[in-house]
A = this chain, B = another copy of it.
Amino acid sequence: MLFYRLLPLLASTVAVLAARYPSFGTLQTQTSNGVMHVVINNTFSEINVLDYHLAFDLANLLERLQGNGTDSDVHAVVFSSANPKFFIAHVDINLFVTGFESPLPKFDPFNPDILFFDALMWNITTLPQATIAVIEGRARGIGNEFLMACDMRFALSSPNVLLSQTENSVGANPGAGGAMYLSNLIGHGRTFEYVLSATDVNADTAAQIGWVNRVFDTPHELHDYVDNLAARIALFPLPGIAGTKQGVNAISRPPRDVFVRDSQDVIISVTSTAEGQELLDAVLKATNNQSLGAFELDWPTEVVKLYQ
């Protein structure tokens, strides 16, 4: 199994296409031998919030990867995070607060019926490339939806790896098909248990029940496994990779119309009720606008204090 480590490892940066959106440098990419490593590093946030900076950078990246179809030099994409405690904390909650002005378009230009953030998650699933998430920190809300949208998930056994759909704890339902993908991985029973109670799963339990593919004891083992896997997949022609993804997605991904309905419901349920707005305001206050602190580190325990 050592053969593909012997391949020439000359790094080659992919030519950057003209970007549709302004670039904020929140994603560092490096490509060699058909594998692109993408490191998520939102320097505008202490907790890797998925805000408009990261959203624009992600939109540009997806467009670049999607651009050449199955002619792309990239066959596999590995996502990881530069933040030791957070893969992606969650979406920027301000975006759902009445009166907040965002530079983001409301809908994705390529999916005019899907809200911009949800479309980002959908567009990850339509990439021709194999996509792999390396998880060393928290991923809640849209963070877990990002993981779900990737083809594969590998986690470090670490107290920092905590995955959940937190939406229910602020009166909403997960958008972007988060809970729907989960029901394919862990069954609807365990999906309801974790999602309705907005409870974290840790890395070991996640691997045991199928939420993630595998768990590793050390970062070295984790990255070694993923690098070998990505390098092996990248050997194979992209049309076969894309075709395999189309087949499996046709049966395991939420149907597009269901995905859209689920996504719009999130917004409606959060923003149309006074209780929802109050909860979001309370979270922003309790987190000091999403700063690193007890609430973001241990959301499931802290959030219930809002109800006391």
A173 touches B240 (CB 8 A): yes
Closest Cβ neighbor of A279 among chain B residues: B237
CB of A1 within 8 Å of the partner chain: yes
The contact string, 1 if C-beta is below 8 Å from chain B, for chain A 73-90, is 000000000000000000
Minimum Cβ distance to chain B for residue A203 (Å)? 14
CB of A107 within 8 Å of the partner chain: no
Pick from B174, B181, B186, B192: contact of A151, CB below 8 A.
Answer: B192
Give the number of copies in the complex: 3
The contact string, 1 if C-beta is below 8 Å from chain B, for chain A 266-280, is 100100010110010
The contact string, 1 if C-beta is below 8 Å from chain B, for chain A 160-181, is 0000000111111110010111
Minimum Cβ distance to chain B for residue A46 (Å)? 26
Give the number of residues in A that approach B within 8 Å (Cβ atoms): 76
Pick from B152, B183, B273: contact of A251, CB below 8 A.
Answer: B183
Dominant secondary structure at the A interface: helix
Task: Give Cα A254 to B1, complex, Å.
Answer: 34
Minimum Cβ distance to chain B for residue A116 (Å)? 19
Considering only residues 235-261 of chain A, those with a C-beta below 8 Å from chain B are 235-237, 239-241, 243-255, 258, 261
Q: Which residues of A contact B (CB under 8 A)?
A: 1, 3-4, 130, 151-153, 167-174, 177, 179-181, 183-193, 195-199, 209-210, 212-213, 229, 232-233, 235-237, 239-241, 243-255, 258, 261-262, 265-266, 269, 273, 275-276, 279, 301, 304-305, 307-308
